[in-house]
Protein backbone atom coordinates (compact mmCIF):
# COMPACT_ATOMS: atom_id res chain seq x y z
CA UNK A 1 0.00 0.00 0.00
CA UNK A 2 2.67 2.41 1.09
CA UNK A 3 4.59 1.79 -2.09
CA UNK A 4 1.54 1.93 -4.30
CA UNK A 5 0.59 5.32 -2.96
CA UNK A 6 4.16 6.57 -3.25
CA UNK A 7 4.31 5.35 -6.82
CA UNK A 8 1.13 7.21 -7.73
CA UNK A 9 2.42 10.40 -6.12
CA UNK A 10 5.67 10.06 -8.02
CA UNK A 11 3.83 9.69 -11.32
CA UNK A 12 1.76 12.79 -10.59
CA UNK A 13 4.84 14.74 -9.58
CA UNK A 14 6.55 13.84 -12.85
CA UNK A 15 3.46 14.87 -14.78
CA UNK A 16 3.30 18.29 -13.18
CA UNK A 17 6.95 19.14 -12.76
CA UNK A 18 7.96 18.36 -16.31
CA UNK A 19 5.45 20.80 -17.76
CA UNK A 20 6.96 21.96 -21.01
CA UNK A 21 9.38 24.72 -20.24
CA UNK A 22 9.46 25.44 -23.96
CA UNK A 23 6.32 27.58 -23.98
CA UNK A 24 7.22 31.11 -25.04
CA UNK A 25 6.44 34.00 -22.76
CA UNK A 26 5.50 36.08 -25.76
CA UNK A 27 2.62 34.74 -27.76
CA UNK A 28 -0.28 35.90 -29.87
CA UNK A 29 -3.56 34.17 -30.61
CA UNK A 30 -4.48 33.94 -34.28
CA UNK A 31 -7.98 32.95 -35.30
CA UNK A 32 -7.81 31.30 -38.67
CA UNK A 33 -9.56 28.80 -40.85
CA UNK A 34 -9.49 25.04 -40.92
CA UNK A 35 -8.07 25.16 -44.46
CA UNK A 36 -4.81 26.79 -43.34
CA UNK A 37 -4.46 24.53 -40.30
CA UNK A 38 -5.51 21.22 -41.83
CA UNK A 39 -3.53 21.68 -45.04
CA UNK A 40 -0.41 21.82 -42.84
CA UNK A 41 0.56 25.36 -43.87
CA UNK A 42 0.79 26.67 -40.31
CA UNK A 43 3.03 23.82 -39.23
CA UNK A 44 5.41 24.95 -41.95
CA UNK A 45 4.94 28.70 -41.61
CA UNK A 46 4.74 29.42 -37.89
CA UNK A 47 8.01 27.87 -36.69
CA UNK A 48 9.81 30.08 -39.22
CA UNK A 49 8.17 33.17 -37.72
CA UNK A 50 8.83 32.06 -34.15
CA UNK A 51 12.51 31.52 -34.97
CA UNK A 52 12.72 35.01 -36.46
CA UNK A 53 10.81 36.84 -33.74
CA UNK A 54 10.72 34.68 -30.57
CA UNK A 55 6.97 35.09 -30.63
CA UNK A 56 4.81 31.99 -30.28
CA UNK A 57 1.70 31.89 -32.46
CA UNK A 58 -1.31 30.06 -31.06
CA UNK A 59 -3.75 29.20 -33.81
CA UNK A 60 -7.42 28.56 -33.18
CA UNK A 61 -8.64 27.01 -36.42
CA UNK A 62 -12.35 27.45 -37.04
CA UNK A 63 -14.57 28.54 -39.95
CA UNK A 64 -14.19 32.11 -41.22
CA UNK A 65 -17.57 33.03 -39.72
CA UNK A 66 -16.56 31.82 -36.26
CA UNK A 67 -13.07 33.31 -36.58
CA UNK A 68 -14.62 36.72 -37.20
CA UNK A 69 -16.86 36.21 -34.17
CA UNK A 70 -13.76 35.44 -32.06
CA UNK A 71 -12.23 38.70 -33.28
CA UNK A 72 -15.34 40.69 -32.41
CA UNK A 73 -15.37 39.21 -28.91
CA UNK A 74 -11.69 39.98 -28.46
CA UNK A 75 -10.59 36.39 -28.08
CA UNK A 76 -7.94 36.65 -30.79
CA UNK A 77 -5.26 39.21 -31.63
CA UNK A 78 -5.02 38.57 -35.36
CA UNK A 79 -7.39 37.08 -37.94
CA UNK A 80 -6.20 35.25 -41.04
CA UNK A 81 -9.31 34.35 -43.02
CA UNK A 82 -10.67 34.12 -46.54
CA UNK A 83 -13.93 35.88 -47.27
CA UNK A 84 -13.38 39.41 -48.50
CA UNK A 85 -16.94 40.77 -47.98
CA UNK A 86 -16.99 39.56 -44.35
CA UNK A 87 -13.51 40.93 -43.77
CA UNK A 88 -14.43 44.34 -45.17
CA UNK A 89 -17.54 44.42 -42.99
CA UNK A 90 -15.36 43.54 -39.98
CA UNK A 91 -13.10 46.53 -40.75
CA UNK A 92 -16.01 48.85 -41.55
CA UNK A 93 -17.65 48.10 -38.20
CA UNK A 94 -14.44 48.99 -36.45
CA UNK A 95 -13.55 45.53 -35.13
CA UNK A 96 -10.34 45.38 -37.12
CA UNK A 97 -7.64 47.92 -37.87
CA UNK A 98 -6.68 47.25 -41.47
CA UNK A 99 -7.00 44.42 -43.96
CA UNK A 100 -3.98 43.24 -45.93
CA UNK A 101 -4.01 40.59 -48.61
CA UNK A 102 -1.61 37.72 -47.93
CA UNK A 103 -2.02 34.87 -50.37
CA UNK A 104 -4.53 32.94 -52.38
CA UNK A 105 -5.34 29.41 -53.23
CA UNK A 106 -8.27 28.13 -55.19
CA UNK A 107 -11.38 26.07 -54.73
CA UNK A 108 -12.08 22.90 -56.61
CA UNK A 109 -15.35 21.07 -57.18
CA UNK A 110 -14.94 17.43 -56.23
CA UNK A 111 -17.44 14.67 -56.94
CA UNK A 112 -17.86 10.93 -57.33
CA UNK A 113 -16.03 9.33 -60.26
CA UNK A 114 -19.40 8.14 -61.59
CA UNK A 115 -20.09 11.85 -62.24
CA UNK A 116 -23.92 11.71 -62.39
CA UNK A 117 -24.18 15.38 -63.50
CA UNK A 118 -21.65 14.85 -66.31
CA UNK A 119 -19.63 17.94 -65.44
CA UNK A 120 -16.10 16.54 -65.48
CA UNK A 121 -13.81 18.78 -67.48
CA UNK A 122 -16.18 21.77 -67.59
CA UNK A 123 -14.16 24.92 -66.89
CA UNK A 124 -17.09 27.24 -66.13
CA UNK A 125 -18.06 26.57 -62.55
CA UNK A 126 -21.45 28.27 -62.96
CA UNK A 127 -22.37 25.93 -65.79
CA UNK A 128 -21.31 22.97 -63.71
CA UNK A 129 -23.43 24.11 -60.76
CA UNK A 130 -26.42 24.57 -63.08
CA UNK A 131 -26.08 21.00 -64.36
CA UNK A 132 -25.86 19.65 -60.83
CA UNK A 133 -29.12 21.42 -60.02
CA UNK A 134 -30.80 20.26 -63.24
CA UNK A 135 -29.84 16.61 -62.71
CA UNK A 136 -30.68 16.92 -59.00
CA UNK A 137 -27.32 15.34 -58.17
CA UNK A 138 -26.53 15.23 -54.47
CA UNK A 139 -24.55 18.26 -53.25
CA UNK A 140 -22.94 18.45 -49.83
CA UNK A 141 -22.63 21.97 -48.47
CA UNK A 142 -20.57 22.82 -45.42
CA UNK A 143 -23.30 25.10 -44.13
CA UNK A 144 -21.04 26.50 -41.39
CA UNK A 145 -20.69 30.11 -42.59
CA UNK A 146 -17.03 29.48 -43.37
CA UNK A 147 -15.27 31.24 -46.24
CA UNK A 148 -15.72 28.18 -48.43
CA UNK A 149 -19.39 27.96 -47.53
CA UNK A 150 -19.97 31.63 -48.33
CA UNK A 151 -18.09 31.33 -51.64
CA UNK A 152 -20.27 28.37 -52.62
CA UNK A 153 -23.50 30.17 -51.70
CA UNK A 154 -22.48 33.16 -53.80
CA UNK A 155 -22.22 30.97 -56.89
CA UNK A 156 -25.72 29.51 -56.34
CA UNK A 157 -27.09 32.97 -55.69
CA UNK A 158 -25.61 34.39 -58.89
CA UNK A 159 -27.34 31.56 -60.78
CA UNK A 160 -30.66 32.38 -59.13
CA UNK A 161 -30.90 28.87 -57.67
CA UNK A 162 -32.35 29.01 -54.17
CA UNK A 163 -30.58 26.66 -51.81
CA UNK A 164 -30.73 26.51 -48.04
CA UNK A 165 -30.79 24.03 -45.23
CA UNK A 166 -34.44 23.35 -46.00
CA UNK A 167 -33.77 22.23 -49.52
CA UNK A 168 -34.08 21.42 -52.30
CA UNK A 169 -33.97 17.75 -51.49
CA UNK A 170 -30.67 17.05 -53.32
CA UNK A 171 -28.94 19.83 -51.42
CA UNK A 172 -27.51 18.67 -48.08
CA UNK A 173 -26.26 21.16 -45.53
CA UNK A 174 -23.90 19.43 -43.11
CA UNK A 175 -22.85 22.21 -40.72
CA UNK A 176 -19.30 20.80 -40.64
CA UNK A 177 -15.72 21.79 -41.35
CA UNK A 178 -14.00 20.98 -44.64
CA UNK A 179 -12.57 17.63 -43.60
CA UNK A 180 -15.79 16.18 -42.18
CA UNK A 181 -17.66 17.47 -45.25
CA UNK A 182 -15.24 15.60 -47.50
CA UNK A 183 -15.61 12.47 -45.32
CA UNK A 184 -19.39 12.70 -45.69
CA UNK A 185 -19.26 13.46 -49.44
CA UNK A 186 -17.17 10.36 -50.01
CA UNK A 187 -19.83 8.28 -48.25
CA UNK A 188 -23.00 9.74 -49.82
CA UNK A 189 -21.44 10.22 -52.47
CA UNK A 190 -21.97 13.87 -53.30
CA UNK A 191 -20.40 16.81 -55.07
CA UNK A 192 -18.89 19.47 -52.87
CA UNK A 193 -16.67 22.54 -52.99
CA UNK A 194 -13.29 22.29 -51.28
CA UNK A 195 -10.22 24.46 -51.00
CA UNK A 196 -7.37 22.83 -52.86
CA UNK A 197 -5.08 22.67 -49.82
CA UNK A 198 -7.44 20.60 -47.70
CA UNK A 199 -8.23 18.40 -50.71
CA UNK A 200 -4.58 17.62 -51.47
CA UNK A 201 -3.76 16.70 -47.88
CA UNK A 202 -7.05 14.82 -47.39
CA UNK A 203 -6.56 11.09 -47.08
CA UNK A 204 -10.00 9.49 -47.06
CA UNK A 205 -11.10 10.35 -50.60
CA UNK A 206 -13.07 7.22 -51.47
CA UNK A 207 -14.63 7.70 -54.92
CA UNK A 208 -14.08 11.48 -54.94
CA UNK A 209 -11.96 13.27 -57.50
CA UNK A 210 -11.64 16.78 -58.87
CA UNK A 211 -14.28 17.48 -61.50
CA UNK A 212 -14.06 21.27 -61.97
CA UNK A 213 -11.06 23.55 -61.44
CA UNK A 214 -9.35 26.61 -62.80
CA UNK A 215 -12.32 29.02 -63.09
CA UNK A 216 -11.57 32.63 -62.14
CA UNK A 217 -14.58 32.49 -59.78
CA UNK A 218 -12.84 29.77 -57.74
CA UNK A 219 -10.03 32.10 -56.77
CA UNK A 220 -9.76 32.23 -52.94
CA UNK A 221 -8.08 35.27 -51.37
CA UNK A 222 -6.76 35.27 -47.79
CA UNK A 223 -6.57 38.46 -45.78
CA UNK A 224 -4.93 39.29 -42.48
CA UNK A 225 -6.26 41.79 -39.93
CA UNK A 226 -5.24 43.03 -36.49
CA UNK A 227 -8.13 43.17 -34.03
CA UNK A 228 -8.82 46.78 -33.10
CA UNK A 229 -7.24 47.68 -29.72
CA UNK A 230 -9.71 50.54 -29.45
CA UNK A 231 -12.44 47.90 -29.02
CA UNK A 232 -10.37 45.44 -27.02
CA UNK A 233 -7.50 47.11 -25.12
CA UNK A 234 -5.84 43.79 -24.21
CA UNK A 235 -5.06 43.02 -27.86
CA UNK A 236 -1.33 42.48 -28.30
CA UNK A 237 -0.87 45.23 -30.86
CA UNK A 238 2.91 45.15 -31.10
CA UNK A 239 3.33 41.38 -31.32
CA UNK A 240 0.36 41.00 -33.62
CA UNK A 241 1.65 43.73 -35.91
CA UNK A 242 5.06 42.02 -36.01
CA UNK A 243 3.35 38.87 -37.26
CA UNK A 244 1.38 40.77 -39.90
CA UNK A 245 4.47 42.68 -41.03
CA UNK A 246 6.43 39.44 -41.32
CA UNK A 247 3.79 37.48 -43.22
CA UNK A 248 3.32 40.16 -45.91
CA UNK A 249 7.06 40.81 -46.21
CA UNK A 250 9.49 38.82 -48.31
CA UNK A 251 10.41 36.31 -45.58
CA UNK A 252 6.84 35.28 -44.90
CA UNK A 253 5.79 35.36 -48.53
CA UNK A 254 8.69 33.13 -49.54
CA UNK A 255 7.91 30.65 -46.74
CA UNK A 256 4.32 30.41 -47.98
CA UNK A 257 5.47 29.77 -51.55
CA UNK A 258 7.86 27.08 -50.34
CA UNK A 259 5.12 24.95 -48.81
CA UNK A 260 4.39 21.97 -51.03
CA UNK A 261 2.59 18.67 -50.64
CA UNK A 262 3.43 15.94 -53.11
CA UNK A 263 5.24 18.49 -55.21
CA UNK A 264 2.23 20.80 -55.44
CA UNK A 265 2.32 24.35 -54.18
CA UNK A 266 -0.82 24.97 -52.12
CA UNK A 267 -0.81 28.70 -51.45
CA UNK A 268 0.33 31.55 -53.68
CA UNK A 269 1.62 34.65 -51.87
CA UNK A 270 0.28 37.91 -53.32
CA UNK A 271 0.78 40.60 -50.70
CA UNK A 272 1.30 44.06 -52.13
CA UNK A 273 4.71 45.48 -51.38
CA UNK A 274 4.40 47.67 -48.30
CA UNK A 275 5.10 51.34 -48.73
CA UNK A 276 5.53 51.05 -52.49
Start-to-end CA span in the chain (Å): 73
76 class by beta-carbon count within 10 Å (0-12 exposed, 13-18 middle, 19+ buried): buried
Residues contacting other proteins: total by CB under 8 A: 40
Site string for other proteins, 161-180 (x = CB under 8 A): ----------------xxxx
Name the nearest CA neighbour of 201 among 257, 150, 265: 265
Piece of 59-67, 85-93, 98-106, 156-164 that binds other proteins (CB under 8 A): 59-67
Piece of 5-13, 98-106, 124-132, 263-271 that binds other proteins (CB under 8 A): 5-13
Do residues 247 and 222 touch, judged by C-beta distance below 8 A? no
DSSP annotation of 271: P
Q: Contact between 55 and other proteins (CB under 8 A)?
A: no
CA dihedral 20→22→25→31, nearest 10 degrees, is -90
Interface with other proteins (CB under 8 A), residue from 20, 160, 263, 275: 20
> ω before 72 within 30° of 0 (cis)?
no
Q: Contact between 61 and other proteins (CB under 8 A)?
A: yes
Piece of 52-60, 80-88, 103-111, 218-226 that binds other proteins (CB under 8 A): 52-60
Smaller CB distance to other proteins: residue 128 or 178?
178
Smaller CB distance to other proteins: residue 163 or 227?
227
Strand, coil or helix: what is 218? helix
Question: By CB under 8 A, what part of segment 68-107 binds other proteins?
Answer: 72-75
Instruction: Please enumerate in sequence order all residues whose Cβ is within 8 A of that of 66, keeping only pairs 6 or more positions apart, or say none.
Output: 31, 144, 145, 146
Tell whether the torsion through CA atoms of 256, 258, 261 and 267 is positive or negative: positive
Site string for other proteins, 186-215 (x = CB under 8 A): ------------x--xxxxx----------
Q: How many CA atoms lie within 13 A of 150 on its CB side?
A: 16
Interface with other proteins (CB under 8 A), residue from 10, 12, 54, 162: 12
Summarize as ranges the residues that interact with other proteins (CB under 8 A).
1, 4-5, 7-8, 12, 15-16, 18-20, 23, 29, 34, 38, 42-43, 58-62, 72-75, 177-180, 182-183, 198, 201-205, 232, 234
Amino acid sequence: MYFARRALLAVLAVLFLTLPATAQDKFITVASTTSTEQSGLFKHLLPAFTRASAIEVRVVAVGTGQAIKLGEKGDADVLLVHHKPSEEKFIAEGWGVKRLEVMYNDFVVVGPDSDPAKIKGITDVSAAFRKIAETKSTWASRGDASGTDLAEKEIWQALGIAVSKSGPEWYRELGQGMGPTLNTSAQLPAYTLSDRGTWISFKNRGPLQIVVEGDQKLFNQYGVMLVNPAKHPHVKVELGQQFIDWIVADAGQKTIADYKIEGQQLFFPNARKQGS
